Amino acid sequence: MTDFDAGRHILPRPDTHRPLTTAMDVHEQEAAFTPIGPVPPPEGAPNVVIVLVDDLGFGTSSAFGGPCEMPAAERLAEGGLRYTRFHVTALCSPTRQALLTGRNHHSVGMGGTTEMATAAPGYNGFRPRSAATMARILQGNGYSTAAFGKWHQTPPREISAVGPFDRWPTGEGFDTFYGFMGAEMNHWYPLLYQGTTPVEPDRRPEDGYHLSEDLVDHAIDWVRTQRTLTPDRPFFTYLPLGAAHAPLHVGREWQEKYRGRFDHGWDQQRELTLQRQKDLGVVPEDTELASWAEGVPHWDELTGNQRRLAARFMETFAAFTEHADVQVGRFIDALEELGELDNTIVLYILGDNGASGEGGIEGTIVEHRLGHGIVDDPDEMIDHLEEIGGPHSYPIAPAGWALALNTPYQWTKQVASHFGGTRDGMILHWPERVPERGGLRHQFSHVIDVLPTILDCVGVPAPFSVDGVTQQPIEGTSMRRTLTDPQAPEHRRTQYFEMCGNRGIYHDGWMAVTRHGIPWEMIPDKNRRFADDVWELYDLDHDWSQAHDLAAEFPEKLRGLQDLFLIEAAKYQVFPLDDRVTERENPAVAGRIDLLGNRTSVTYRGGMRRFTEETTPNIKNRSHSITADIDVPDTAAEGVLIAQGGRFGGWTLYVTEGRPAYAYNYFGMSLYTVRGDRPLAPGRHEVRLEFDYDGGGLGKGGTAVLLVDGEKHATGRVERTIPYYFSFDETLDVGVDLSTPVTDDYPALDNEFSGTIHTVRIDLDLQTDGSSEFDGGLHRRVMGAQ
């Protein structure tokens, strides 16, 4: 093996032999010195762009017959190839980990989202160093690399100023990162990172700001700069947008385009979409609609208010999706302007899972309520119809639309057993090497096949060793033959699927599946055993959409596939199966490492910001106190001392009109406020909030006592508290309330404390209500945001 070959198989390239110095004077040196540089890319290597849109389904995009207009996707499909049997993993983090590593999600520790990680090997949320990412491999082969958008692969306890940072984007092979680290983000008031540095946009919604536009602006700027400074280096741009994952945030002008388009309802939409899919050829002419999901009402079973709300949710989803795609189109235009589009492999993956059914039967204007089992009343939500999609909403659409957006398949996101959760459209565009325009590819493929395909097309081998660590086998298989041969044989004969206990196994045209849970029932039935799950059998060569269960007709075929699932699951670290969803958001319940361990007291200094939920003391379901040591200015003090969460759930200790105050926001439904009875005098003070939790289960109430310099100023009741998590996107901040405000007692922005904060200490009571049981009293119909 030559040094150059070793540089491809061993990353970074080992030091090469250098000529010895033979003279003291450079003018007398006989042997020339060779400049040391990075491994050059292969000659003529193409650029690589991967665009990943969140929470779409196979029947969502107009490029695959869906109702959401996506002109950029259509443009790329008409100039390239549509892959009609491309599969993902049924949830966000697992698909992203599999995409970037070329390994099955359990093989790289991502059996669920990062927030659902446990201590089990297949679910611990830690990418092993033996599975280097696509970015790291391309970076080691001379590529410039950058990511813009949603990451969602870093363990939550590592998302802080102390890291470690080796599982952040810039530690996993990306030279540049601009985006957010968690499951979702407020697109009006996002909290972002530039590399590992927290940043916030300098514009607001009223200034025309939107996150999708911001992400693409940064991507365009980066590509232009890269081509100016290093025009001979190919680039890898990863653009995983936050859209169309909840919250559905988009401007009113985009929504107006879709007004009235979905008044016909989700049942008729499935029929319309299926016909368009047949016209496009992305499904065969004999494809049937798979069965409707049990428990989801048909459109004609809804009340008038339910239909009005559902139509508005879908109008917002479609507008949000089209708006995101138009931004992708701007990026494609920039590539064309630079003369780079023809020699760029563009992979446009239309969903990291199927459309989300996590909005439940009704949908909601505040997503986090549903994660806690709270169902909004449509007759009260209707009063907030015009807020949907705007800055005062955090919406997600009803499950009926998810089923329609996954046409012609059954079920939704999370359900890895059925194609509604795992089959998404994928577009490949590479004019210089793929001359066919508007082609269709029907080979069975999986997201783990992307990495070996890219390496194959770029012309670099999978490395044996990266950063001194021997690499585990890549489990995906290259699809390159399909690029130029529509009749190429199937490159993938077998593939297992598993998510939240929902399971499936594909082999040579047959598929056996079993659904264990229902996505919109976030708290699983604890009496349901995996051994009791009913398996179904489908002949995919003759039943494209899993419409006809043949389990009763071919029991031996079913048994063979069930056995094969056990073999594959054992091979790839799928066991033990885990059907918990919301419960695993709590580190203590999940059994994963807690950054703060057993600490019961944490002291913050003034100006500290951006602490995620897993890097702060867990005040939920226990008594606690918050003590602020502050200096009050001569003028009346104003602003936030400390806050966690925001408009859709959280708490804050602050000063308003000179008086100390505490507010607890229960999912935007109830706001409990305790205010001091007199202003704070200028000078140094201790402001303390003591919260006495009622106990007796999770999510119970408590008594809040506000003290100044040890003297009681006010007492009030908080009747209900949030049991599992405040937010996926908002943080704990000292001296300010970033993103959305917990209370309207202070403005959404510019709410910094006008005095000086020395310290803020949170003390936790030793006794906690650590029950993992969800309080059934929270399962009730309640009104929408006030």
Task: Give the DSSP per-residue string, 355-399.
Answer: PP-TTTTT-BSBHHHHHTT-EE-HHHHGGGGGGTTSTT-B-B--H
484-500 in b/e form (b: 16+ CB < 10 A) is: eeeeeeebbeebbbbbb
Task: Give the DSSP per-residue string, 667-705.
Answer: TTTEEEEEE-SSPPPSEEEEEEEEEEE--SSTT--EEEE
- The reported pLDDT for the residue numbered 524 is 67
Name the more confident of 508 and 523: 508
Integer Cα distance of 598 and 68 in angstroms: 49
What the block records as the tokens of 127 is: 């990418």
State which H helix or E strand residue 402 sits in.
helix 399-405
Integer Cα distance of 195 and 172 in angstroms: 12
Mean pLDDT, rounded, for 55-74: 98
Integer Cα distance of 116 and 93 in angstroms: 10
Measured in degrees and rounded to the nearest 5, phi and psi for residue 145 equal -135, 140
- The reported pLDDT for the residue numbered 330 is 98
Integer Cα distance of 251 and 253 in angstroms: 5
What the block records as the tokens of 422 is: 């795992």
- How does the average pLDDT of the chain come out, rounded? 94
Integer Cα distance of 761 and 420 in angstroms: 47
What the block records as the tokens of 226 is: 């890269």
Which band of pLDDT confidence, cut at 50, 70 and 90, is reported for residue 137? very high
What contacts 207, CB < 8 A, 6 or more positions away? none
The conformation of residue 301, written as its DSSP 8-state character, comes to: G
Mean pLDDT, rounded, for 649-665: 98
- The reported pLDDT for the residue numbered 769 is 64
Identify residue 409 by its one-letter amino acid code: Y
Contact 537, 558 (CB under 8 A): yes
- The reported pLDDT for the residue numbered 779 is 35
Integer Cα distance of 366 and 337 in angstroms: 41
- The reported pLDDT for the residue numbered 522 is 64
Residue 428 vs residues 281, 451, 481, 757: alpha-carbon distances, Å: 16, 14, 13, 54
- The reported pLDDT for the residue numbered 34 is 78
Rounded to the nearest angstrom, the gap between the alpha carbon of residue 550 and the centroid of all alpha carbons in its chain is 35
In percent, the amount of the chain with pLDDT more than 70 equals: 96
Which band of pLDDT confidence, cut at 50, 70 and 90, is reported for residue 785? very low
Mean pLDDT, rounded, for 27-48: 87
- The reported pLDDT for the residue numbered 250 is 98
Contact 95, 447 (CB under 8 A): yes
Which band of pLDDT confidence, cut at 50, 70 and 90, is reported for residue 88? very high
Which band of pLDDT confidence, cut at 50, 70 and 90, is reported for residue 441? very high
Integer Cα distance of 755 and 735 in angstroms: 9
**DSSP β-bridge partners for residue 625:** 690, 763
Of 698, 724, 731, whose CA–CA distance to 115 is shortest?
Answer: 724
Integer Cα distance of 658 and 488 in angstroms: 74
Prior bond of 12 cis (ω within 30°)? yes
Residue 140 vs residues 42, 146, 169, 294: alpha-carbon distances, Å: 12, 14, 15, 50
Contact 94, 444 (CB under 8 A): no
The conformation of residue 759, written as its DSSP 8-state character, comes to: E
Contact 468, 380 (CB under 8 A): no
Mean pLDDT, rounded, for 451-467: 97
Angle 293-299-300 from CA coordinates, rounded to 5°: 125
Is residue 784 scored above 80 in pLDDT?
no
The conformation of residue 28, written as its DSSP 8-state character, comes to: G
- Kindly report the pTM of this predicted structure: 0.95
**DSSP β-bridge partners for residue 465:** 10, 470
Is residue 773 scored above 90 in pLDDT?
no
What the block records as the tokens of 133 is: 């990412």
Which band of pLDDT confidence, cut at 50, 70 and 90, is reported for residue 28? confident
Burial, 564: exposed, middle or buried (Cβ in 10 Å; 0-12, 13-18, 19+)?
A: middle
What contacts 777, CB < 8 A, 6 or more positions away? 697, 699
Helix 71-78 to helix 304-337 angle, to the nearest 10 degrees? 50
Is residue 776 scored above 90 in pLDDT?
no
- The reported pLDDT for the residue numbered 1 is 36
What the block records as the tokens of 200 is: 């916030």
Helix 304-337 to helix 211-229 angle, to the nearest 10 degrees? 10
- The reported pLDDT for the residue numbered 22 is 83
Determine the 3-state secondary structure of 75 from DSSP. helix
Is residue 445 scored above 70 in pLDDT?
yes
- The reported pLDDT for the residue numbered 783 is 31
What contacts 304, CB < 8 A, 6 or more positions away? none
Prior bond of 244 cis (ω within 30°)? yes
- The reported pLDDT for the residue numbered 523 is 64
Task: Give the DSSP per-residue string, 43-61.
Answer: TTPPEEEEEE-SS--TTTB
- The reported pLDDT for the residue numbered 35 is 76
Prior bond of 463 cis (ω within 30°)? no
Structural domains in the chain, sorted by start: 47-499 (3.40.720.10), 502-585 (3.30.1120.10), 596-782 (2.60.120.200)
Identify residue 777 by its one-letter amino acid code: G
Mean pLDDT, rounded, for 728-749: 96
Identify residue 415 by its one-letter amino acid code: V
Determine the 3-state secondary structure of 20 from DSSP. coil
Mean pLDDT, rounded, for 631-654: 96
Contact 545, 290 (CB under 8 A): yes
The model's pLDDT over 100-123, given as tens digits with 9 standing for 90+, comes to 999 999 999 999 999 999 999 999
Of 463, 259, 246, 253, whose CA–CA distance to 356 is shortest?
Answer: 246
Q: Compute the residue count for the chain.
A: 786
Integer Cα distance of 745 and 538 in angstroms: 58
Which band of pLDDT confidence, cut at 50, 70 and 90, is reported for residue 45? very high
Determine the 3-state secondary structure of 199 from DSSP. strand
Residue 340 vs residues 297, 315, 432: alpha-carbon distances, Å: 49, 35, 10
Residue located via tokens 């239909």: 307
What the block records as the tokens of 771 is: 């029950």
The model's pLDDT over 185-220, given as tens digits with 9 standing for 90+, comes to 999 999 999 999 999 999 999 999 999 999 999 999
Mean pLDDT, rounded, for 166-185: 97
Is residue 697 scored above 60 in pLDDT?
yes
